[in-house]
Amino acid sequence: MRPACIKCQRFLKPKKNGAGVLECIPGPGSPPAGTAGEGAWRPYKFWMADIWECRGCGLEVAAGSGAMPLSEHHQERFPNDQKVHGVYAKINDW
Protein backbone atom coordinates (compact mmCIF):
# COMPACT_ATOMS: atom_id res chain seq x y z
CA MET A 1 0.00 0.00 0.00
CA ARG A 2 1.21 3.52 -0.71
CA PRO A 3 1.61 5.87 2.25
CA ALA A 4 -1.70 7.51 3.11
CA CYS A 5 -2.91 10.64 4.89
CA ILE A 6 -5.36 9.50 7.54
CA LYS A 7 -6.72 12.98 8.17
CA CYS A 8 -7.60 13.52 4.50
CA GLN A 9 -8.39 9.86 3.68
CA ARG A 10 -6.15 10.10 0.60
CA PHE A 11 -3.06 8.30 -0.67
CA LEU A 12 0.11 10.37 -0.75
CA LYS A 13 1.50 11.12 -4.21
CA PRO A 14 5.22 10.93 -5.07
CA LYS A 15 6.64 14.46 -5.17
CA LYS A 16 10.39 13.98 -5.55
CA ASN A 17 12.67 10.95 -5.81
CA GLY A 18 16.20 11.08 -4.44
CA ALA A 19 15.82 14.15 -2.25
CA GLY A 20 18.56 15.03 0.22
CA VAL A 21 17.51 14.82 3.87
CA LEU A 22 19.87 16.11 6.56
CA GLU A 23 19.41 14.33 9.89
CA CYS A 24 20.72 16.35 12.84
CA ILE A 25 21.65 15.53 16.44
CA PRO A 26 21.16 17.83 19.41
CA GLY A 27 23.95 20.21 20.37
CA PRO A 28 24.65 21.27 23.96
CA GLY A 29 21.70 22.07 26.21
CA SER A 30 19.29 19.38 25.00
CA PRO A 31 17.39 21.55 22.50
CA PRO A 32 13.78 20.60 21.75
CA ALA A 33 13.08 18.50 18.66
CA GLY A 34 11.78 19.97 15.44
CA THR A 35 11.66 23.60 14.43
CA ALA A 36 11.50 24.73 18.08
CA GLY A 37 15.17 23.80 18.42
CA GLU A 38 16.32 25.23 15.09
CA GLY A 39 19.93 26.41 15.23
CA ALA A 40 20.86 24.19 18.16
CA TRP A 41 21.09 20.92 16.20
CA ARG A 42 24.17 19.70 14.34
CA PRO A 43 24.37 17.91 10.99
CA TYR A 44 24.79 14.18 11.52
CA LYS A 45 23.72 12.00 8.59
CA PHE A 46 22.82 12.78 4.99
CA TRP A 47 20.15 10.57 3.47
CA MET A 48 18.65 10.24 0.02
CA ALA A 49 14.91 9.71 0.37
CA ASP A 50 11.69 9.96 -1.58
CA ILE A 51 9.31 12.80 -0.79
CA TRP A 52 5.57 12.08 -0.76
CA GLU A 53 2.84 14.67 -0.48
CA CYS A 54 -0.84 14.82 0.41
CA ARG A 55 -2.69 16.91 -2.12
CA GLY A 56 -5.45 17.41 0.41
CA CYS A 57 -3.58 19.14 3.22
CA GLY A 58 -0.04 19.62 1.90
CA LEU A 59 1.59 17.14 4.32
CA GLU A 60 5.05 16.13 3.10
CA VAL A 61 6.72 12.89 4.18
CA ALA A 62 10.32 11.74 3.62
CA ALA A 63 10.57 7.96 3.37
CA GLY A 64 12.20 5.13 1.46
CA SER A 65 15.78 6.08 2.25
CA GLY A 66 17.15 2.56 2.51
CA ALA A 67 19.15 1.38 5.50
CA MET A 68 22.32 3.43 5.02
CA PRO A 69 22.84 7.19 4.76
CA LEU A 70 24.79 8.51 1.79
CA SER A 71 27.35 9.90 4.23
CA GLU A 72 27.88 10.80 7.89
CA HIS A 73 29.39 13.81 9.62
CA HIS A 74 32.80 12.23 10.22
CA GLN A 75 33.32 11.46 6.53
CA GLU A 76 35.22 13.82 4.25
CA ARG A 77 32.54 13.64 1.56
CA PHE A 78 29.73 14.75 3.95
CA PRO A 79 29.69 18.49 3.08
CA ASN A 80 30.14 17.86 -0.63
CA ASP A 81 27.27 15.36 -0.78
CA GLN A 82 24.99 18.06 0.56
CA LYS A 83 26.23 20.53 -2.05
CA VAL A 84 25.89 18.10 -4.94
CA HIS A 85 22.44 16.73 -4.08
CA GLY A 86 21.02 19.69 -2.16
CA VAL A 87 19.26 19.58 1.20
CA TYR A 88 15.53 19.30 0.57
CA ALA A 89 14.67 18.76 4.21
CA LYS A 90 16.33 18.98 7.62
CA ILE A 91 15.24 16.82 10.55
CA ASN A 92 15.97 17.89 14.12
CA ASP A 93 15.09 14.72 15.95
CA TRP A 94 16.54 11.39 17.10
Closest CB to Zn ion among residues 8, 40: 8
Closest CB to Zn ion among residues 59, 91: 59
- Out of 4, 25, 57, 68, the only residue in the binding site for Zn ion (CB under 5 A) is 57
Measured CA distances, 81 to 5, 9, 47 (Å): 31, 36, 10
* Amino acid in position 27: G
Can you tell me the distance from the alpha carbon of 73 to that of 67, in angstroms, rounded to the nearest whole number? 17
Site for Zn ion contains 12 (CB under 5 A): no
Residues that bind Zn ion (CB under 5 A): 5, 8, 54, 56-57, 59
